[in-house]
Amino acid sequence: MYQHVEPNHTNHIHADGHNVPTKATNNGTMCANGSFGTEGPEATETDSSGTGRMRKSLERNGSTQNDTVHLERRLGLFSGVALIVGTMIGSGIFVSPSGLLVRTGSVGVSFIIWLACGLLSLLGALAYAELGTMNTSSGAEWAYFMDAYGPAPAFLFSWVSTLVLKPSQMAIICLSFAQYAVEAFVTECDPPRGVVKMVALVAIVMILFVNCYSVNLGMAVQNVFTAAKLVAVVIVICGGAWKLFQGNTQHLSNAFNGPMPNIGAIATAFYTGLWAYDGWNNLNYVTEEIKNPSKNLPRSIMIGIPLVTLCYALINISYLAAMSATEMIESEAVAVTFGNRILGALAWLMPLSVTISTFGSANGTLFAAGRLCFAASREGHLLDILSYVHVRRLTPAPGLIFHSLIASAMVLHGTIDSLIDFFSFTAWIFYGGAMLALIVMRFTKPNYPRPYKVPIIIPVVVLVISVYLVAAPIFETPRIEYLYALLFIFAGLIFYVPFVKLGMTPRFMNKVTLFFQLLLEVVPTSSMAMFE
């Protein structure tokens, strides 16, 4: 029988099997000797190298190896690369090429923007590697905002990311997956919208089950689908190389013909390209589960992002070897059109490849999104139940379910284009905030250990570009959606002040939390639920 344990006073079981009374600190941590833990972002803990030395840490004092229930370090270098590559190569390269051409009006400019997006993603990810090795807590931007700015900006990020950014990202990918999957069975007309949405919902449920069942299963699916999509990429590249070998270079000549796009058009073109690269920071959301994160986090980034950039550049050249820029713009499924022209009887491989690619990307997106809920809730910024993990499978099931429910609602009521524009504008506000956090901590925490350190010019450059990407579309083509996005971000303060700052909790929430604990068989990572 399951016995619920109140969060303010619980028994913590040490390795020797004895019950030791513990008390919760006012920042959510548990102290085995009954004393209160250090409040604030810096606390003393054992060095993760395993030497037993004590060090000052920026990490949240939530899930540690001494907790009865915690997230385990299971991700190695290969899994880290697979998570980056698998989430970055999704629907973007199959949807974005035509959008990029429309917004730039030039093959040459669009190709430069593809490469620039890859470089910007690499620079941003390297800056994130420094942040991620300084603070190996899960949660990425949320953890870094807590360290640099305090709880209010961190809450605003968790508010927007949990309710909009991560769910919309998954909704876009699953809609793309469903579009290509249904098109394989509908040849004479457009796929029915209702069928596409139903298939997208089925995909979300399947991915949710995989990630709730086992972390190892989730990463196995990620590794297999990443390998499969790289095979598909190689097929596209080889097909394009064959066309180039035959002398089909006419679409690549005079690449810079046409007028140059204005500043606002370039910024929106970057949005389209950067959507295809999004996912470069997903590994930072799961740093608590990476083996030896000080080494494997930057190594995974240095391998994964250049690999994706190379694939994207060669895929775009392959597309232009088989079709003109006008044909790419008119095609609703560039990859499928390419397959029909190059692969002949094997053209069905392209829709299959896209469905494999998008499914793997959605899997990695949910894997990372659940950890954001877990990290922010553990600090009291979201509902407590979202920080709980399954007692046997050690997966953050409530956070995964929560994200999936919101993504499902977006699938039912949204479109791909509207979701991409809102996602890109809002996301780069927080990416810029993370770059500023790194710069701020160079001055506020100059002596803190940095296993990996980037030149200061890198976060400065990415910060400047982030400001440009956010400001240029507003001044060039003002849209009411940008104002809505900003209002939604700051609307989070309405909930932050009473429920986080003042600590107000509705009386019924304890019963709600207990109900979902019993239903989902989950417990906090810093307390113990007893089974008998």
Residue 517 lies in a domain: no
pLDDT per residue over 66-100, tens digit each?
444 555 676 788 888 888 888 888 766 765 577 77
Distance between CA atoms of residues 227 and 350, nearest Å: 15
Residue 367: the pLDDT is 84
357: which 2 tokens? 């690619």
Q: Which pLDDT band holds residue 278 (cuts at 50, 70, 90)?
A: confident
Residue 256 lies in a domain: yes
Query: What's 463's domain CATH number?
Result: 1.20.1740.10
Q: State the average pLDDT over residues 435-441.
A: 95
197: which 2 tokens? 């949405």
Q: Which pLDDT band holds residue 275 (cuts at 50, 70, 90)?
A: confident
Q: State the average pLDDT over residues 276-297.
A: 83
450: which 2 tokens? 């940095």
Look up the pTM and report it.
Answer: 0.75
Distance between CA atoms of residues 48 and 20, nearest Å: 24
pLDDT above 70: percentage of residues in the chain: 80
Q: Tell me: pLDDT of 370 over 50.
A: yes
Q: Tell me: pLDDT of 40 over 80.
A: no
Residue 59: the pLDDT is 45
405: which 2 tokens? 């429910």
Q: Which pLDDT band holds residue 9 (cuts at 50, 70, 90)?
A: very low
Residue 15: the pLDDT is 34
Q: Tell me: pLDDT of 443 over 50.
A: yes
> How crowded is residue 260: how many other Cβ atoms within 10 Å of its Cβ?
11
pLDDT per residue over 260-269, tens digit each?
777 777 877 8
Which range, 80-84, 255-259, 348-352, is most confident? 80-84
Q: Tell me: pLDDT of 127 over 90.
A: yes
The mean predicted confidence, pLDDT, of the chain is 78
Residue 4 lies in a domain: no
Residue 47: the pLDDT is 38
DSSP E strand stretches across 176-328: none
Length of the chain: 532
Distance between CA atoms of residues 360 and 6, nearest Å: 39
Q: How far is CA 356 from CA 221, 251, 411, in A?
A: 11, 29, 19
Residues facing 46 on adjacent strands? 54
Q: Tell me: pLDDT of 39 over 50.
A: no
128 vs 325, residue with greater confidence: 128
Residue 2: the pLDDT is 40
Residue 508: the pLDDT is 87
Angle of the 349-378 helix axis to the 151-160 helix axis, nearest 10 = 150
How many independent structural domains does the chain possess?
1
Residue 275: name the closest of 117, 164, 413 by CA. Answer: 117
Q: State the average pLDDT over residues 475-493.
A: 83
Residue 3 lies in a domain: no
Q: Which amino acid is at 301?
A: I
Q: Tell me: pLDDT of 428 over 50.
A: yes
Q: State the average pLDDT over residues 131-155.
A: 88
pLDDT per residue over 190-218, tens digit each?
778 888 899 999 999 999 999 998 888 88
Distance, C-alpha 262 to centroid of its chain: 30
Residue 417: the pLDDT is 59
pLDDT per residue over 156-182, tens digit each?
998 988 888 888 888 888 888 888 788
Q: Which domain range does residue 419 map to?
A: 77-502
Do residues 441 and 147 make contact, with C-beta atoms less than 8 angstroms apart? yes
171 vs 253, residue with greater confidence: 171
Helix, strand counts (H, E) of the chain: 19, 7
Residue 478: the pLDDT is 79
Distance between CA atoms of residues 233 and 307, nearest Å: 11
Q: Tell me: pLDDT of 332 over 60.
A: yes
Q: State the average pLDDT over residues 289-313.
A: 88
Coil, strand or helix: which one is 12? strand
DSSP E strand stretches across 214-254: none
Q: Tell me: pLDDT of 462 over 90.
A: yes
136 vs 494, residue with greater confidence: 494
DSSP characters for 48-99?
A: TTTT--EEEE-S-SSS-TTSSS-----B-HHHHHHHHHHHHSSSHHHHHHHH
Residue 126: the pLDDT is 92
Residue 416: the pLDDT is 58
Residue 19 lies in a domain: no
Q: State the average pLDDT over residues 415-440.
A: 79
> How crowded is residue 248: how many other Cβ atoms within 10 Å of its Cβ?
15
Q: State the average pLDDT over residues 44-73.
A: 43
DSSP characters for 376-445?
A: HHHTTSS-GGGG-EETTT---HHHHHHHHHHHHHHHHH--HHHHHHHHHHHHHHHHHHHHHHHHHHHHHS
Q: State the average pLDDT over residues 482-487.
A: 83
Residue 525 lies in a domain: no
Strands 19-24 and 30-31: antiparallel
Q: Which amino acid is at 19?
A: N
Do residues 65 and 205 make contact, with C-beta atoms less than 8 angstroms apart? no
Residue 72 lies in a domain: no
Q: Tell me: pLDDT of 11 over 70.
A: no
> How crowded is residue 499: how many other Cβ atoms within 10 Å of its Cβ?
18
Residue 66 lies in a domain: no
Distance between CA atoms of residues 297 and 277, nearest Å: 18
Q: Tell me: pLDDT of 144 over 80.
A: yes
Distance between CA atoms of residues 33 and 91, nearest Å: 51
Lowest mean pLDDT among 312-321, 337-346, 401-410, 416-425: 416-425
Distance between CA atoms of residues 270 and 425, nearest Å: 11
